[in-house]
Structure 1
Amino acid sequence: MSIRIGVIGTGWIGEQHVHRLTSTVSGAEVAAVSDIDLDRAAEVAEAAGARRVDSAEKLIADSEVDAVVIASWGPVHAEQVLACVEAGKPVFCEKPLTTDAADARRIMDAEQAFGRRLVQVGFMRRYDAGYRRLKEVLDSGAVGKPLMAHCVHRNKSIREHYTTEMAARDTAVHEVDALRWLLGEEFVSAQTVLPRKTTKRFPHLQDPQIFLFETASGARVDVEVFVNCQYGYDIQCEIVGEEGAVRLPDPAAPAVRRAGRSSVPVLPEFGDRFEAAFDVELQEWVDRIRNGEALTGPSAWDGYAATMVTDAAVQSLHSGAIIPIDMGDRPELYA
């Protein structure tokens, strides 16, 4: 039996999810699609053999929709996720879960009242083969207790709508979740440091930025975000332990030797880098729903924690101070 899925939001990521649910993921079918742009929703729905529904609210309430994928604008995620929980429908929500930590608390309260997890957040790096190998090394103890982590997140260029605060909330948020997962602990402070600006940017944008985090055990994490690096999409992560160090592998690519040089290509866009992770992420989500198993992917707590950390980073952006982070107690449902 296939899971009938409704998709809210038909921008780039929403359309990509509709395509992979239709052509790559097994055990699922796209039953309905909605977007505030009705013509766009109709176009994407037709390509998938699905129905266009006039609103997110109607899609969530639709009796022919078993589960929901939310790929809409971030500020509307909270109410859409809450509606899914109220309807008792599993929901996969692209990051951010919410743009306000208090809304994430509302979602966790609703989920706890329901009695089991219904929410998964789209932090796809946990499903990337390289990151999973990295975690296996850390969990094995091969490099000893982690002391430091050094991360790089570079984009070739960015569109003009991108703002300085988005470096934390939309870009570094991936490193925040990945490092919380890899190290198995929460961040307790954040600071944003501003290097000299690149000239290859829009006038309103501070780029690059460096984020400094401390974990509960005292490990230190630095994340460089440079969204106009010009040369490609480059993701790096190294974790240094007491007995060794481990690095995230680069994507497999052929090395070319020519004219006295050896070179390997750098991928141009994030979709190229993490396409397989997106596929694995949605396949595992669908499989657990079909099998009646508990969700094990990034939870509402993970979405809440990421928002708390990136909010602190944005606060530091404006003040320059080290901002303490107090997550509060983790509910038992997410233990």
Structure 2
Amino acid sequence: MTVNVGVIGAGMIGADHVRRLSTIVSGAQVTAVTDIDADRAASVAAGVGARSLATGQEVIDAADVDAVLVTSWGPAHAESVLGAIAAGKPVFCEKPLATTAEDCHKIIDAETAHGRRLVQVGFMRRYDAGYRAMKQVIDSGEIGTPLMVHCAHRNPTVPERYHSEMATHDTAVHEIDTVRWLLGDEIVSAQVLTPRRTSHRFEHLQDPQIMLFETAEGARVDVEVFVNCQYGYDIQCEAVGETGTVRLPDPAAPVVRSAGRQSGPVLQDWKDRFAEAYDVEIQEWVDSVAAGAVSGPSSWDGYAAAMICDANVEALHTGEIVSTGLKDRPAFYA
């Protein structure tokens, strides 16, 4: 079975997913594309033999679209996801699922009323080979009950439009979802510490930030977000259990010994670091759509991330420990 995919949003990540669906992923083809920039949509669509349509709703309603991929501007996500649910079509939505917890809840309510899972959220780190290996070790019990998780998310630089709240919503959101998934546990509180700020930043930005989380079962998580580290794109994660630890491996790279020194490269871009994870993510989504059972990160995961991020931003501004306000996961998303 070939899954015909309609793409809403033809910007950088949207165009990259169109390329991925057309040249890497098997069992799929792009049949329709839309974007707020009609010329961009037409160009991306023409490159893969698809049609460009005027609106997201037209893509959703198209008879030759079996499933929808949403990569538009974040505030527009909820409308497209809700439209796909109403049409009964599976929908992959890049994070965020929605920009407010209220809209995330509307999606949960709509999907629950539909009676079958249709939504997958684009938390691609769950598809990275290193993180999957960590998850396997933790689930096996080899390191005992997890007590702590240490994470670091470093970028060489960020543009001037990047502001302090984006350290949570655009950056640490990946660690937030990953830790929830690795531990099978929910985050119940957030706190943010603000160290001395780096001089390599724009004046409006608090950088770095140290985010502290507690889970329902009492594990402690720290996330260092440092988005002007200068030296490269560096993602670190270590889980500490009662009887051992497991650490995320660095990407494979050659080690050079020369002139009395040993050295290796540091990646500079998130697209290089997680390119394979994106490929695996979209392939598994297409496979699940073909099988009639969407199974990746759910609407609940998108909602939980939104609630935790909102609490973390409040903690940044107040200096307090803030409850995330999460309730128990509904049985529908078990």
TM-score (ref. length: structure 2): 0.99
- Decide which moves more: 194-203 or 218-227: 194-203
What's the offset of the Cα at 1:12? 1.0
- Paired with 1:161 and 1:15, the residues of 2 have a C-alpha distance of 22
- 2:109 and 2:89 map into 1 onto residues whose CA distance is 16
Q: Could you tell me how far apart the structure 1 residues matched to 2:323 and 2:89 are?
A: 36
- Provide the C-alpha distance between the structure 1 equivalents of 2:328 and 2:215, rounded to a whole number of angstroms: 16
Aligned to 2:206: 206
In the TM superposition, structure 1's runs of 4+ consecutive aligned residues that sit over 6 Å from their partners are none
Give the Cα–Cα distance (whole angstroms) in 2 for the partners of residues 295 and 62 of structure 1. Answer: 21
Letter in 2 for 1:222: D
Q: Give 2:110's aligned residue.
A: 110
Partner of 2:294: 295
The corresponding residue for 2:250 is 250
Separation in structure 1 between the aligned mates of residue 309 and residue 144 of structure 2, nearest angstrom? 28
Task: Give CA-to-partner distance per residue, 1:155-195, whole Å, 9 cap, x none.
Answer: 11112221110100110000000000000010010011111
Deviation of 1:76 after TM superposition, in Å, equals 1.0
The Cα shift of 1:198 comes to 1.1
Counterpart residue type for residue 189 of structure 1 = S
The amino acid that maps onto 1:302 is D
- Distance in 2 between the 1:30 and 1:289 partners? 14
Map 1:12-51; keep pairs closer than 5 Å.
12-51=12-51
- Aligned match of 1:326: 325
The reply on whether 1:163 has 2:154 as its aligned counterpart is no
Once residues 159 and 244 of structure 1 are traced to their aligned partners in structure 2, the CA distance between those partners, rounded to angstroms, is 39
- Secondary structure at the aligned position of 2:274 is classed as helix
Q: Deviations over 1:80-118 (max 9, x none)?
A: 100110010100000010111111111011001101000
Q: Distance in 1 between matches of 2:157 and 2:47?
A: 30
Partner of 2:281 in structure 1?
281
Instruction: Please tell me the root mean square deviation across aligned C-alpha atoms, in Å.
Output: 0.8
Aligned-pair CA distance for 1:138: 0.4
Indicate conservation of the 8 Å contact 2:121/2:296, yes or no.
yes
SS of equivalent residue, structure 1 residue 321:
coil
* Cα shift at 1:291: 2.0
Deviation at 1:326, TM superposition (A): 2.1
Shift of 1:10: 1.3
Following superposition, the deviation at residue 285 of structure 1 comes to 0.6
Q: C-alpha displacement at 1:228, in angstroms? A: 1.0
Q: Work out the CA distance in 2 between the residues paired with 1:215 and 1:74.
A: 27
Helix, strand or coil: the match of 1:44? helix
**Equivalents in 1 of 2:312, 2:303: separation in Å?**
14
Which residue type is aligned with residue 312 of structure 1?
A
Q: Distance in 1 between matches of 2:199 and 2:49?
A: 46
**Which residue matches 2:315?**
316
Instruction: State the Cα distance separating 1:203 from its structure 2 match.
Output: 1.8
2:133 maps to which residue?
133
Measure how far apart 1:28 and its partner are. 0.3
Distance 2:320 2:60 in 1: 42
Which stretch has the larger CA shift, 85-94 or 202-211?
A: 202-211
How far 1:53 moved relative to its partner? 0.6
Q: Which residue of 2 is the match for residue 226 of structure 1?
A: 226
SS of the residue corresponding to residue 196 of structure 1 reads coil
- Structure 2 unaligned regions, length at least 5: none
Look up the match of 1:236. 236
Q: Partner of 2:301: helix, strand, or coil?
A: helix
Q: TM-score, normalised by structure 1?
A: 0.98
Post-superposition Cα deviations, 1:238-265, rounded to whole Å, max 9, x if no partner, equal: 0111101110000000100011111111
Q: State the 1:296 CA deviation.
A: 1.5
8 Å Cα contact 2:200/2:228 also seen in 1: yes
Output one character per residue of 1:124-169: Cα deviation in whole Å (capped at 9) or x when no partner: 0000000000001101111111111100000111122211101001
Q: 1:124: which partner in 2? A: 124
* Count of residues in correspondence between the two structures: 334
- The aligned runs of 1:25-104 (5 Å cut-off) are 25-104=25-104
Counterpart of 1:295, as a letter, is V
Question: How many angstroms apart in 2 are the aligned matches of 1:313 and 1:277?
Answer: 27
What amino acid sits opposite 1:39 in the alignment?
A: D
- Aligned-pair CA distance for 1:329: 2.9
